Chains A and B, each alone.
Chain A
Amino acid sequence: MDLRAGDSWGMLACLCTVLWQVPAVPALNRTGDPGPGPSIQKTYDLTRYLEHQLRSLAGTYLNYLGPPFNEPDFNPPRLGVETLPKATVNLEVWRSLNDKLRLTQNYEAYSHLLCYLRGLNRQAATAELRRSLAHFCTSLQGLLGSIAGVMAALGYPLPQPLPGTEPTWAPGPAHSDFLQKMDDFWLLKELQTWLWRSAKDFNRLKKKMQPPATAVTLHLEARGF
């Protein structure tokens, strides 16, 4: 069906758009600035907000897919979703990620997820769903921008896609509607898992960036306060 290939085109186009055309965030003015702390906080807040938004969007979308997709313990086989960025990670590996890698993984994950979400705009979905999806995509784009801001503040470069190594999630033309529904299910699940993980990622970053409390106390004592 033309639809599928069109979807793939849409996804690829979107990959390019997202990764190459996100406006380069100008470096923060360093003189007297509070550091990346506030923007890390903002990013953390955004992930919590998106998590909340996703809950209602996923509820509506899964109802549209119909049972058994909207049943609470539904657990279909993960077919062909290996190219979805996986949030699940070994605890030690996660703990030992350096800041740059942590941020890069988040940035790349949401770039992909945003792309797939845009492709989710199924022809047959209701106008109401399309609106909710579009609204969520905009918010997700905001999160991407926020992560980019933190990376720029810390002096890390934004990840660029390398030609030929991009994993594209490209279903073949015979991709059935039921399989598409399963893909949609896993996309929403993975998005949810990523948002949970990101909250922890940014919380960890936030703690690292805070100035040590002792320095402040000493300063005050020296002044005789």
Chain B
Amino acid sequence: MPAGRPGPAAQSARRPPPLLPLLLLCVLGAPRAGSGADTAVISPQDPTLLIGSSLQATCSVRGDTPGATAEGLYWTLNGRRLPPELSRMLNASTMALALANLNGSRQQSGDNLVCHARDGSILAGSCLYVGLPPEKPFNISCWSKNMKDLTCRWTPGAHGETFLHTNYSLKYKLRWYGQDNTCEEYHAVGPHSCHIPKDLALFTPYEIWVEATNRLGSARSDVLTLDILDVVTTDPPPDVHVSRVGGLEDQLSVRWVSPPALKDFLFQAKYQIRYRVEDSVDWKVVDDVSNQTSCRLAGLKPGTVYFVQVRCNPFGIYGSKKAGIWSEWSHPTAASTPRSERPGPGGGACEPRGGEPSSGPVRRELKQFLGWLKKHAYCSNLSFRLYDQWRAWMQKSHKTRNQHRTRGSCPRADGARREVLPDKL
């Protein structure tokens, strides 16, 4: 054991000493002060072993202490006394131990194998590192927030690596430019993740892989090739507003703003809306909301509070052919539908303003009916909007139905002409 040698400057120090006189302070390398308490030694010291392997260990008592003998020594592993049949005395000063079929280490700092004197005091110890070499990490997935950074996640190859401290290193390089880079910010989103905050290039694919290393070996994942533009995600749409549609008891209008970070590039952005009733956990999702910033939810229950969220997918950004990655959902916004005494129809769909056809079954049939009516009757002003207005009007006047007044022209079954409310209203 070398003693009294000052730590050489050549050795890599985690923090280089700030001042030169530091070297003068060294009383480094002195054997551990107050020893003479190293009354025994275990061999092997701190071994690394495969799960299922065997271990032969010895505890040798130093001869200089009077009465030092291996008689009465016993072993504990992680605080538990080992059965006496596993140990035997090799000679007067050495006790041997035979362990077979070792399990993975209880903690990553190593299993504590301790040699005790007859009175229970600790004579020596050794840390056992039992585990498996790592397997290929897999399932690497990455995403870029607004094309500014890259976050990647992966799955460790096997459970066996968890018994030992396994170091994961995410590496990346531009495909046609040779230099390897290593990611530095780990645990960004969970234990097996890394965040690359800057200096990312667009328009050239990256090659990304993960290297796993522990005491027993190392493994390397397959290489993932990706283009930053194909894995772009963005912030959720800000300023989501939900409001009632006049007096309509089964509709709510949702409006939002395109996420500002990418607003100049989101030509083909897609949005998704989800909503649920206040005390339910089941969300209804409205898909295929393309490149609009508003939508009308229909088929809702009257007098009910709804929570609504919107998210964005920067599809086709900079000409990328692939779908981007959906953003997080916006903060929930709530609104309630107007109250009614009659139960409203079930099902939900998004109705874009302008009265384009939607997907609810009632409305689909209605659309067909209106189409037929236009051909076979004299009602030129019929439309969904008119239908909505009728329903709103029906709610207001359901108690005073006798007092209604109508305008417009549409034949009735009994042949008499009746006015209906014009479009403008």
**Contact (Cβ within 8 A) B37 A9:** no
Residues of chain B with a CB closer than 8 A to A138's CB: none
Is A80 in the interface zone, CB < 8 Å from B? yes
**Residue A50, interface by CB 8 Å:** no
Is A79 touching B35 in the complex (CB atoms < 8 A)?
A: yes
Given A161-B25, A181-B127: A66 in contact with B7 (beta carbons within 8 A): no
- A12 touching B25, Cβ below 8 Å: yes
A177 with B14: CB separation less than 8 A: no
- B165 is an interface residue with CB less than 8 A from chain A: yes
Docked-complex contact A77 and B1, CB < 8 angstroms: no
Closest residue of A by beta carbon distance from B39: A77
Q: Chain A's interface: helix, strand, loop or mixed, by majority?
A: loop
* CB proximity of A127 to chain B, nearest CB, Å: 5
Query: In the bound complex, what is the Cα–Cα distance between A81 and B35 (angstroms)?
Result: 9
* Cβ-defined contact, B21 with A13, below 8 A: no
Do A127 and B15 form a contact, CB below 8 Å, given A176-B126, A178-B127?
A: no
A9, B17: Cβ atoms under 8 Å? yes
Main secondary structure of the interface of B (DSSP, over half): loop
CB-defined contacts of A17 to chain B, threshold 8 Å: 15, 18
Within 8 A of B (CB), among A2-60: 2, 5-6, 8-10, 12-17, 20-21
B36: nearest chain-A partner, CB-CB: A79
CB distance from B97 to the nearest CB of A (A): 15
- Chain A residues contacting B186 (CB-CB under 8 Å) are 127
Question: Are the CB atoms of B12 and A64 closer together than 8 Å?
Answer: no
Fill in one digit per residue for A158-176: 1 if any B CB lies within 8 Å of its CB, else 0: 0001011011111111111
Mark each residue of chain B from 122 to 139: 1 if its CB lies under 8 Å from any CB of chain A, else 0: 101111000000000000
Q: Which residues of B contact A163 (CB under 8 A)?
A: 21, 24-25
Q: Is the CB of B122 within 8 A of A66?
A: no
Task: List, in ascending order, chain A residues with CB within 8 A of B122's CB.
Answer: 76-77
**Among A67-75, A139-147, A211-219, the stretch in contact with B:** A67-75
Interface hits, B14-36 → A, CB 8 Å: 14-19, 21-22, 24-35
Are B7 and A9 in touch, CB under 8 angstroms? yes
Q: Which residue of B lies closest to A79 (CB)?
A: B37
What string of 1s and 0s marks CB contacts (under 8 Å) between A68-108 and chain B? 11010000111111110000000000000000000000000
Pairwise interchain contact A68-B112, C-beta atoms closer than 8 A: yes
B293: chain A residues at CB < 8 Å are none
Give B402 Cβ to nearest chain A Cβ, in Å: 74
Q: With both chains docked as a complex, state the minimum distance between the C-beta of A59 and any C-beta of chain B, in angstroms.
A: 14
Nearest A residue (CB) for B8: A5
Report the minimal beta-carbon distance from B21 to chain A, rounded to whole angstroms. 6
What count of chain B residues pass the 8 Å CB interface test? 55
Does B358 lie at the interface of the complex (its beta carbon under 8 Å from any beta carbon of A)?
A: no
Q: Is the CB of B46 within 8 A of A178?
A: yes
Task: Pick the residue among B15, B30, B46 that contacts A13 (CB under 8 A).
Answer: B15
Given A172-B31, A182-B125, A9 and B14 touching (CB < 8 A)? yes
Chain B 75-100 interface 0/1 with A at a Cβ cutoff of 8 Å (1 = within): 01011100000000000000000000
Please determine whether A64 and B33 come into contact, CB atoms closer than 8 angstroms. Answer: no
Min C-beta distance of A115 to chain B, whole Å: 11
For B25, list chain A residues within 8 Å (CB).
Answer: 12, 15-16, 161, 163-164, 166, 168
Chain A residues closer than 8 Å to B268, beta-carbon distance: none
Q: Among B53-61, B101-109, B144-152, which stretch is in contact with chain A? A: B101-109
| Distance, CA A205 to CA B32, complexed state (A) | 36
| Across-interface contacts of A193 in B (CB, < 8 A) | none
Asked if A71 meets B79 with Cβ closer than 8 Å, knowing A13-B18, A16-B18, A168-B28, the reply is yes
Does A124 interact with chain B (Cβ within 8 Å)?
A: yes
CA distance A13 to B22 in the complex (A): 7
Binding site for A on B (CB under 8 A): 1-3, 7-8, 11-19, 21-22, 24-35, 37-38, 42, 45-46, 76, 78-80, 106-112, 114, 121-122, 124-127, 165, 186-187, 191
Binding site for B on A (CB under 8 A): 2, 5-6, 8-10, 12-17, 20-21, 63-69, 71, 76-83, 122-127, 161, 163-164, 166-179, 181-182
15 pairs from A and B in contact (CB 8 Å cutoff): A5-B7, A5-B11, A63-B107, A68-B76, A77-B121, A79-B32, A163-B24, A164-B25, A166-B27, A168-B27, A170-B28, A172-B31, A172-B32, A178-B114, A181-B112
7 new A-B contacts at CB < 8 Å, known A163-B21, A166-B25, A170-B30: A9-B15, A164-B27, A168-B25, A168-B27, A172-B29, A177-B127, A178-B125
List the 9 closest A-B pairs by CB distance, nearest first: A80-B32, A67-B79, A178-B125, A68-B79, A9-B13, A66-B107, A177-B127, A124-B165, A82-B34
